Homo-oligomer: A and B are copies of this chain.
Amino acid sequence: MSAGGAGGFGLDHLPYGVFSVAGGERRIGVRFGDGSGDWVVDLHAATGRPEFAEPSLNAFLALGPEVWRQTREQAGELAASGEHAVPLDEATLHRPFEVADYVDFYASLDHATNVGRILRPDSEPLLPNWRHLPVGYHGRAGTVVPSGTPITRPSGQRRGPGEVAPTFGPSRRLDIEAELGFVVGVPSPIGTPVPFSGFGDHVFGVVGLNDWSARDIQAWEYQPLGPFLGKSFATSVSHWVTPMAALEAAWCDLPAQEPEPLPYLGPGAVRGLDIDVEVLLDGEVVSRPPFRTMYWSPAQLLAHLTVNGASLRTGDLFASGTISGPERDQRGSLLELSWGGREPFVAGGRERTFLEDGDEVVLRYSALGTGGGRITLGEVAGRIVPAG
């Protein structure tokens, strides 16, 4: 194999995942693509290290930044040598890590503003707390599934406009949320907040994430304790975890924060990631949300999450919330793309609002790599199957 990086999986990327071959044991691998094809480097076969014989990345993630750095160096040498490489198309891919707690934020100003305008047209779109703290909530860790898992349309209570009582049935407003997820490697003790500056000590990398949402179920249930069954039926993540080390060239300044956040949120030191996202509906790109337009930075999300003394565990997953940019074709949910279902958008030559049975959604992510070209982060795919 050459050292070149075809398809965004060159030596400056090297994302981690869990794979098996022909029904064998799950192993940790690193993806590499070059002119000769796409490969998974079998890290256990190559190194014999026990953390790579695990069925999830968690044991490796817990080892911390110095081990992550050394392993990345070694993985690069292995990829370049072509040793212990399995052809990607012979590998079955699995969920890359065991999710401890899953937190989802609401960190895009454009998304929060759009949702406010759609759902509460007669009020200020942003609630008073929004510019002071990254609003977030806990989601269901047990239903985080890997890319490719079919998504069964959920049933539940929903109340239509003008109806007094709810009815029960399959969601009629099934939606996506195009997000980025951050994967915690190193735990922290209860009672001790992780400061803004501790991001790199704890966060291993990122995954693509689709926070499937049943808007009608959510709208009826969410007051006063927030989203529950409208979100908890499934959240899809990519097979590949891109380490933060592969994103060093992608850091960028975010839009200004006004008012200045409280000191624990690190005002004046807000760095985001310039990651391009594409939302494909049945193979057609319907939106291109830009992660560089997020309001709250990844390090601010982590600092907020732990400022009350909440501990971190290996495998904690915290996601950005829907990524939406200021333009119409940069919206990361169908709720926004169809403006609450009232303004259908065109895809596949016809008008669309929410997801139909059989629809396939794919989220793609790319960023500037340290090698000067673009790297392709793990994609997230899922097809809707009818309610059971």
Contacts and interface: CB of A to CB of B under 8 A. Distances in A.
A299 interface: no
B142 A221 contact: no
A215 to B, nearest CB: 13
Interface string A298-312: 000000110111111
Interface string A114-158: 000000000000010100110111111111010000001011110
Nearest to A150: B191
Given A133-B166, A143-B190, 4 more contacts: A142-B311, A152-B309, A222-B226, A233-B308
Interface string A233-262: 110000000000000000000000001001
Copies of this protein, total = 2
Contact of A138 (B139, B305, B310): B139
Contacts of A308: 154-156, 214, 217, 229-230, 232-233
A316 B141 CA distance: 10
Contact of A142 (B193, B310, B388): B310
Contacts of A221: 129, 133, 135
Interface string A259-303: 100111000000000000000000000000000000000000000
Interface in A140-187: 140-143, 145, 152, 154-157, 165-168
Interface string A88-119: 00000000000011010010000000000000
* Central interface residue in A101, A168, A305, by most chain B CB within 10 Å: A101
Given A101-B141, A225-B136, A229-B304, A168 B311 contact: no
Contact of A224 (B191, B222, B262): B222
Nearest to A101: B142
Contact of A227 (B168, B192, B226, B233): B226
A223 B223 CA distance: 9
Size class of the contact patch on chain A = 35 or more
A170 to B, nearest CB: 10
A135 B220 CA distance: 10
A73 to B, nearest CB: 31
A13 interface: no
Contact of A309 (B137, B154, B222, B304): B154
Contacts of A140: 101, 138, 310
A199 interface: no
Given A141-B141, A308-B155, A309-B388, A165 B225 contact: no
A209 B380 CA distance: 38
A138 B228 contact: yes
Given A190-B234, A308-B155, A226 B225 contact: yes
Contacts of A106: 225
A225 B127 CA distance: 11
A313 interface: yes
Given A142-B311, A192-B388, A308-B217, A223 B259 contact: no
Contact of A155 (B132, B220, B307): B307
